[in-house]
Amino acid sequence: MLALSTAFLLTSSDATVRAADCGNVAGPGLDWSGCSKSNIMLQNSDLKGANLFGAHFDSTDLSDTNLTSANLEKATLVRAWVKNVHADGANFKRIEAYRSDFSNVSANGASFANAELQRAVFRGAQLVNADFQKAELGRADFSKANLTGVNFSFANLSRAGLSGAVMQGPVSFSGAFMYLTRIEGLDLSNATGLQQAQLNLACGDKDTKLPSFLKAPTGWPCPPDDPDDKD
């Protein structure tokens, strides 16, 4: 009985600490794992190194927040604002972030592996050496983003917009699905894992530079995207 009572007290104490963590004000290194933080304003917060595993940030404004080295694995950020965020080295694995705005985010070396990022916006983002392996990126917008060293292996890039992105080093497209992926004007001469079958599905133009063993399909350039099909 004494052992059971002690175990109950310890369990109750742990539950109290967990509840208290969810109520804590944003700060570096805190533990908000599994907490609900949806539909609130968290701009300019400092969450460096925070444990945000499985937390809920749907429709939350995280603009200008410091998420450097934070753990957001399996967090939900559907329609969230993640603009101008500092997130170098952060863990975004398996997040759900449909239609979220990551414009101008700095997420160099961050991992978005297996993430759900359909229609997410990464315009102007710094994503050097970021990992998007097996990520769902249908209609994602990477225009003017720095994608140097990015890993898109086995990612779904259907209808994603990469035109205007910066690629100053190798980018891996091994096994990526590139149906109508917009690659107009891109320098892909150093891309790795790129196959002719992928290019035949993608949308490039006369300014798209390819590895020497690949050629531009006769179907290029593609017609413009239908603006009525972007909702």
- Give the tens place of pLDDT for each residue, 137-162: 999 999 999 999 999 999 999 999 99
* pLDDT at position 21: 84
* pLDDT at position 12: 41
Residue 131 has pLDDT above 50, yes or no: yes
Q: How does pLDDT run across 71-121, given as a tens digit for each residue? A: 999 999 999 999 999 999 999 999 999 999 999 999 999 999 999 999 999
What is the DSSP-derived secondary structure letter of residue 48?
A: T
Is residue 69 within 8 Å of 89, Cβ to Cβ? yes
Residue 231 has pLDDT above 60, yes or no: no
- Report d(CA 165, CA 144) in Å as an integer: 4
* pLDDT at position 148: 97
Residue 230's pLDDT band, with cuts at 50, 70 and 90, is: low
Residue 225 has pLDDT above 90, yes or no: no
Which residues is 76 bridged to in the sheet?
Answer: 56, 96
* pLDDT at position 107: 98
| 166 φψ region: left (φ > 0), alpha (ψ -120 to 50), beta (else) | beta
Q: How many helices (H) and strands (E) does the chain have?
A: 2, 0
* pLDDT at position 19: 39
- The share of the chain scoring above pLDDT 70, in percent, equals 89
pTM, two decimals, is: 0.89
Q: Where are the alpha helices (DSSP H) in the chain?
A: 2-23, 196-201
Exposure pattern of 65-76 as b/e (b: 16+ CB <10 Å)? bbbbbbbbbbbb
> If you average pLDDT over residues 224-231, what whole number do you get?
65
* pLDDT at position 133: 98
Residue 71 φ/ψ, nearest 5 degrees? -105, 105
Of 184, 103, 176, residue with least CA distance to 145: 103
- Name the token pair of 115: 């993430």
> If you average pLDDT over residues 47-74, what whole number do you get?
98
